[in-house]
Amino acid sequence: MFSGAGLAPTIGRAAAEGFQAVRFARELLQLPIRFDADALADEVGRLPRSAWVPHPMGFPGNDAVPLISVGGGLNDEFAGPMAATEYLAHLPYVQSLMAELGGVWGRSRLMGLGPGAVVPKHVDIHYYWRTHIRIHVPVVTNTGVRFRCGGEDVHMEPGEAWVFDSFRLHEVRNEGSEKRVHLVLDTVGSSRIWELIRSANVGAPIPGEPWKPAKPGAGQKLRFERLNQPTVMSSWEMRCHVGYLLDNVIAAPDPALLDAIDHFLFSWHAACSEHGEDEAGSEGYRSLIQSVREQMMRLGANKVMLNNEASLYRALDALVFSRALAPSKPQEPAALPPNPKAA
C-alpha cells in the first residue's frame, strides 16, 4: 500500500505521469538488440505439437505455448505468483535471452498465428496491461504478417525485438501462407529493458549480429512475479490510473462527472486509511465501487470517449473499479474491441 497525506484536489497530467513507467517515442518501437532467429526456430521446432493450445479468447487460427504462468501450470491466468512451465525447460536459448533482458517476468508465451488468421483490432485497457510491457520477438514469420498499432504498420523480422503501446487500437494479420510464431514476453521491466527502450526512443542503431549468451547452455536464473495485483488498490495508485484515463479523453467531461470521480477517490482514501487490507473493510469498499459505477452510468461516462475508441466508463471499470479489490477468483483481462456506443 502507498501512504501519505496531502491529496491534490484535482486529477491531472502530473498524477498520470507518476505511474507511467516508460514512454515510447512511437506506437511501435524496435529495440536495439537482435537475437539468433535460427537458434529460436530450432528450439521451438522441437516442441511437441501437444504443447500448443488454443488462444484463450478463441480467435480462429491463434494458438500458444505457455512458458510462464501462475504456478507454472498450463493456464492463462494473470494474477498470482508466476513460475516456468514444463516447456520453458526445453528452450535454453529463450532462457538465456530472458536472462539477458533481466525482466521480472509475468505471463509469457509462444504465440502462433496461422495463415489467413488475425488478432482482431482491439485495445488493452485492463489493469494487467496498464502495469506491464509486452516484448515481441519474432521466431518464424513471413512477409505477409503485419502488425498495426495506432497509425503505424510494420513487419517484424525474425530475431528482432519490439514493444508497442497496447492502449492504442492494434491488430495483427497473417496474409501469408505460413504460420507465424512470436515469443511474447510480459514484464514490469528491468534496468536493461529501460536502457533498450531509451536507446530506441532516440534511434539507436540495431546491431548487425545477433546476441549470443556468454556461456551457451549454462543454467539461467530468471526472476518471476510474486505480487502482481493489490489486495486493496491504494488511493494514490488509483488517482494515477484515473488521471491517465482523463488525459486520454477526446473532450472534457461534464464537471458533475469529474466531481463524482473526485468524491469517490476521496472516499476511497478515507476507507483505505481506516481499514487498509483488513477484511472488515470489504463491505464498505464494495459499496463505494457499486455506488460510483451507478453514478458513472447516470452521468454519462459511457458516452465520454477516449482517443482509442473505448468509453471512459469501460476503461474506468476495467482498470480501476474491477481491480480496486482483488477478486476471489482471477479474471481474464480480455482483449476489448472498441465500442463507441456503450460501456
Residue (of 42, 85, 39, 38) closest to 216 by Cα position: 39
The model carries a pTM of: 0.84
What pLDDT, on a 0 to 100 scale, did the predictor assign at position 167?
84
* Gap between the Cα atoms of 94 and 91, Å rounded: 5
* Cα 337 from Cα 77, distance rounded (Å): 20
Domain ranges of the chain: 21-224, 229-323
Q: What is the DSSP letter of 14?
A: H
pLDDT under 70 in the chain at which residues?
1-22, 216-220, 327-343
- Report yes or no: 127 and 323 within 8 Å, Cβ to Cβ: yes
3-class SS of residue 125: coil
Under 8 Å between Cβ of 277 and 244: no
Which residue shows C-alpha cell 511437441?
48
Residue carrying the nine cell digits 521480472:
104
Give Cα 123 to chain centroid, integer Å. Answer: 10
pLDDT at 11: 43
User: What is the predicted pLDDT for the residue at 216?
Assistant: 61
Give SS3 for 152: strand
Q: What is the pLDDT of residue 9?
A: 35
Do 108 and 317 form a contact (C-beta atoms < 8 A)?
Answer: no
Is the CATH code 2.60.120.330 the one for domain 21-224? Answer: yes
